[in-house]
Homo-oligomer: A and B are copies of this chain.
Amino acid sequence: MQSSTQTHTDIISSERVEGTAVYNKAGDRLGSIDDLMIDKRSGQIRYAVLEFGGFLGIGADRYPLPWNILKYDTSLDGYVVPLDKDTLEGAPHYVGGEPPVYSDDYGRSVNRHYGLE
């Protein structure tokens, strides 16, 4: 989702991040970024929400991933995450467009799942 004009800079548009593909380290496409969860006060992105399954986004599962674990790979034109299927299957997730309340507890449960505390 990046154009050539974006590779010259370290700044990227949220509109380009949303929809970008996410792969595991084996190169399998896990899904795409649906949404970004932002700390209101600091403006820091805490989670990128991985979407997969469903039909045209309806009924799709959404998995908040800590922003830090996503690495952009220019050759894949997408993000790579160091996750296997098992890690993702047991991960916190929700269905539908309206995110749950990202309380401190919820955030901690996400971070804990990915080994970040």
A contacts, CB < 8 Å to B? 3, 5-6, 8-15, 17-18, 35-47, 67-68, 72, 98-103, 107
Majority secondary structure of chain A interface residues (helix, strand, loop or mixed)? mixed
Given A8-B101, A98-B3, A101-B5, A13-B37 contact (CB < 8 Å): yes
B43 pairs with A67, CB closer than 8 A: yes
State the oligomeric state as a number of copies: 2
Scoring A36, A38, A68, A103 by chain B CB atoms within 10 A of each residue's CB, the highest score goes to: A38
B38 touches A103 (CB 8 A): no
Across-interface contacts of A46 in B (CB, < 8 A): 11, 43
Q: In the complex, how many angstroms separate the beta carbon of A26 from the nearest chain B beta carbon? A: 24
Asked if A40 and B102 sit within 8 Å, CB to CB, the answer is no
Complex alpha-carbon distance, A12 and B10, angstroms? 23
